Amino acid sequence: MPDHTDATPTNRINRRSLLAASAGVAAALGAAGLPVLATGSPALAHPKDKDKDKDKGKGKLRVEPLIPEKNRGIILYSVRDRITAAPDDSGVPYGFERVLARLAEIGYKEIEFAGYTQHTSILGRQITPREIRKILDDNGLVANGTHASIQAATFQQQLDIAEELGMKNIGTGSDPTNSAYKADWDAAADLWNELGRQARARGMRLYTHNHDVAYSFLLDSGPLDAQGRPTRSSGVRRLEYFFGKTDPKYVFFEFDIYWGYVARYKHQKYVDPAGREVTDLFDPILNVADRTTRFPLFHAKDGDRDTSVPNGHQMAPLGEGDINFQQFFQTIGERDFHHANWEMDTAPGGTANQGQSLDLAALSYRNMSDLTIYLKK
């Protein structure tokens, strides 16, 4: 089987991603009493330093991975083109058995699912969750979550599949509601608290995944519209309201870091109850750091700043964009608790480059592995 890992540039993590923390974020972290990285020193351990002690004046230090090897994962949406591909003679892996074997070879230890189907021509029928579990086990992989449809009527069935696959987390890629109004978020919180209880009873955590709109502002005050709904905001963001309405024992979150920075770019202003426009920048780091153990999972998705597009960013392989993952993961702490799943929605290369998504998975894994931290011996 050809190795496609060298088909794309393999430069190591971009130093601007790691060192260029904004002064505004640093000031906010300091004001909150949270650690701020020193941006004037290397954020990566050089290979020559990895086998010897470092003395920074505070005792000897050891270099360890910022994201532990066992917690490095991938959501299969990033390689969906190869999971769903029919058998071909390209030499690029296809279907669960071949793709999961390749991901394990790259180094990934955890898998987040984005569906449980492959091309039926591979087996002459659809693969079963039990068969997928055997593939995971055979390759030393662990299922750490899924983007499923979370609905009361089918939730027990989803839990059955998750249990078969050995998951400790079950979730969705959709917001609990798309509404801008408190009443709908209140109803969603009631449902999620109940479903979270059901998940916990079976040894799992229920989680929801954000896009940028989840961090837009609620309409919760001011004059009412023709339907009796508020038209202005108190400045509370939708998902931040949901944090407070859900029980932390039952409802958890997967933070998509890329979409968090898109939210910072797109959702900066609201009209307050008095009709004044207010600017309030969203801080992705503080969003997590204030409640870090409610976030077992992350989408480690990178992006380049590009104000010519509506989102203000273009997706990029991990470590090749502008997002400072070093500062993010070091500041939020609890590194053994957090699991990072690489995602890049635009990774598939289509018929022109059938191996692209797996190439980028390899590049992104290497860059994720390069994130390091100095700890006292």
Could you tell me the two tokens for 291?
A: 């409640």
Q: How far is CA 377 from the centre of its chain?
A: 30
Pick from 263, 287, 365, 258: nearest CA to 29: 287
| pLDDT score of 40 | 29
Phi/psi at 45 (5° precision) = -80, 130
d(CA 316, CA 360): 9
Encode the chain (377 residues) as per-residue pLDDT tens digits: 333 333 333 333 343 433 343 344 444 444 444 443 333 222 333 333 444 444 544 568 899 999 999 999 999 999 999 999 999 999 999 999 999 999 999 999 999 999 999 999 999 999 999 999 999 999 999 999 999 999 999 999 999 999 999 999 999 999 999 999 999 999 999 999 999 999 999 999 999 999 999 999 999 999 999 999 999 999 999 999 999 999 999 999 999 999 999 999 999 999 999 999 999 999 999 999 999 999 999 999 999 999 999 999 999 999 999 999 999 999 999 999 999 999 999 999 999 999 999 999 999 999 999 999 988 88
CA 10, 319, 136, 148 dihedral sign is negative
| pLDDT score of 58 | 53
d(CA 124, CA 65): 43
Could you tell me the two tokens for 240?
A: 């931040």
d(CA 287, CA 215): 10
| pLDDT score of 72 | 98
| pLDDT score of 131 | 98
Q: Tell me if 132 sits within 8 A of 165, measured CB to CB.
A: yes
pTM here is 0.86
d(CA 80, CA 54): 42
Q: How far is CA 98 from the centre of its chain?
A: 24
Q: Tell me if 127 sits within 8 A of 89, measured CB to CB.
A: no
Q: Roughly what angle, to the nearest 10 degrees, separates helices 155-165 and 129-138?
A: 30
3-class SS string, the chain: CCCCCCCCCCCCCCHHHHHCCCHHHHHHHHHCCCCCCCCCCCCCCCHHHCCCCEECCCCEEEEEECCCHHHEEEEHHHHHHHHCCCCCCCCCCCHHHHHHHHHHHHCCCEEEECCCCCCCCCCCCCCCHHHHHHHHHHCCCEEEEEECCCCHHHHHHHHHHHHHHCCCEEEECCCCCCCCCHHHHHHHHHHHHHHHHHHHHCCCEEEEECCHHHHCECCCEEEECCCCCEEECCCCEHHHHHHHHCCCCCEEEEEEHHHHHHHHHHCCEEECCCCCEEECCCCHHHHHHCCHHHCCEEEECEEEECCCCCCCEEEECCCCCCCCHHHHHHHHCCCCCCEEEECCCCCCEHHHECCHHHHHHHHHHHHHHCCEEEEEC
Pick 15-34+67-376's CATH classification: 3.30.300.210, 3.40.50.150, 1.20.140.10, 3.20.20.150.
3.20.20.150
| pLDDT score of 107 | 98
Q: Roughly what angle, to the nearest 10 degrees, separates helices 155-165 and 182-201?
A: 50
354: Cα within 13 Å, side-chain hemisphere: 17
* Amino acid present at 128: T
Instruction: Quickly tell me which residue has 């011996």 as its tokens.
Output: 377
Q: How far is CA 315 from the centre of its chain?
A: 13
d(CA 251, CA 254): 11
